[in-house]
Every structure is written in structure tokens, then in C-alpha cells.
Amino acid sequence: MSTAVTEHSEPWTIADVLALPEDPRNRIELVGGALLMSPNPGVPLQRASSRLWALLDAAVATAGAPLEVLEAVNVIVPDGLLIPDLAIADAAATAEAGTTLNADAIVVAIEIASPSTRVTDKKMKPFLYAAAGIEHYWRLEPDPAPRLYLGHLERGTYIDRLVQAGETTQLTDPFPLNLDPAALRR
């Protein structure tokens, strides 16, 4: 952990977090003035993320949707700064963006659960993304068999639909997507 992190004595701000030196080992997010640190994903999760990114990018392109699929982008939410594993964002907003995107530019926030992020991805992040008004929150749980929870925001909370390996998503919103989570594994 860097000295800048250990010597900070006040609640953290977005500006404080963005001023930290890049950390190749950890993702540093901000929730309520406190840092949330998790290790960068290992190879199995990066593989799943890469495959999911490619499938989503192809679906967005096929639909001609004005969206862009991004990896590990800084998203400003009302209570801090989150870094979803993948985000599907408004293409006009991404063209103008610098280091961060505002939550209103995000159409889908996607987290890929790992042993170190499983609790925050399932309990904390849906609450924070919902409070930010992000319409879709998807969570991929790769083990023991890939399953994808497709959350759609309804009255301030996500209503999940589970798609397991061997099934397909059959989505039309926010763009057509037919994806079997088994395709995300080797």
C-alpha cells in the first residue's frame, strides 16, 4: 500500500482517489469517503471479461446502438467512484470523457464476481448503482459454472433474471443479445 494511502487522515474525495498513483495490483474505489480496495482480476476472470467484452461489443455493433463497451472505467456515483469490470455507456458521453464518466452515461454496469469481490458485487454495488439510476446491473459469477444475473432497475432496485450455462439471455433491451454464459469459459 502506498504511503499516500496510509498517511491520509480525512475522508477521501474523488479528487483524492484520482490523484493517487496508479496501482497495478489493486483497484481502488471510493464509497462514502472510504477506500474500497480489491486485487486486480486474475487470468480466469480476465479471460471471462475479455470474452464478454467481445460478445457485447459485437452485439452493440450489430444493433447499431449508440453505445460503447468499456473495461474498468471510473464511474462517478452519488456516493463515490466505482470501477465496474465492464460498462456499456452512451457513445457520445465516452467521446467527450476524460478520466471518469458520470453514472448517467452508463446504460449497463457489469461486475464479474471473484472470491475477493463476491460480497461487494452482490450486496453493495447493486445498491450504489441503483442509487445512481443506472438502468441495468449485470453480474457474472464464473464458478462453478458461469451464470449471469441480468438486473433491470425497477422502483429503485434491481430485479434479477438468472441465465445459467446452457441457457441464453434473449434480451432486447438495451440492445438485442443472445448469449449463453457457457461461451465465457474455455
Burial 149-163 (b: 16+ CB within 10 A, else e): bbbbbeeeebeeeeb
Note the maximum CA span of the chain: 50
Residue 33 contacts residue 26 (beta carbons within 8 Å):
no
Domains and CATH numbers, the chain: 41-184 (3.90.1570.10)
Among 37, 38, 72, 66, smallest CA distance to 52 is for 72
0.85 exceeded by pTM = yes
- pLDDT tens series, the chain, 186 aa: 454 566 788 899 999 999 999 888 889 999 999 999 998 888 888 899 999 999 999 999 999 999 999 999 999 999 999 999 999 999 999 999 999 999 999 999 999 998 888 899 999 999 999 999 999 999 999 888 899 999 999 999 999 999 999 999 999 999 999 999 999 986
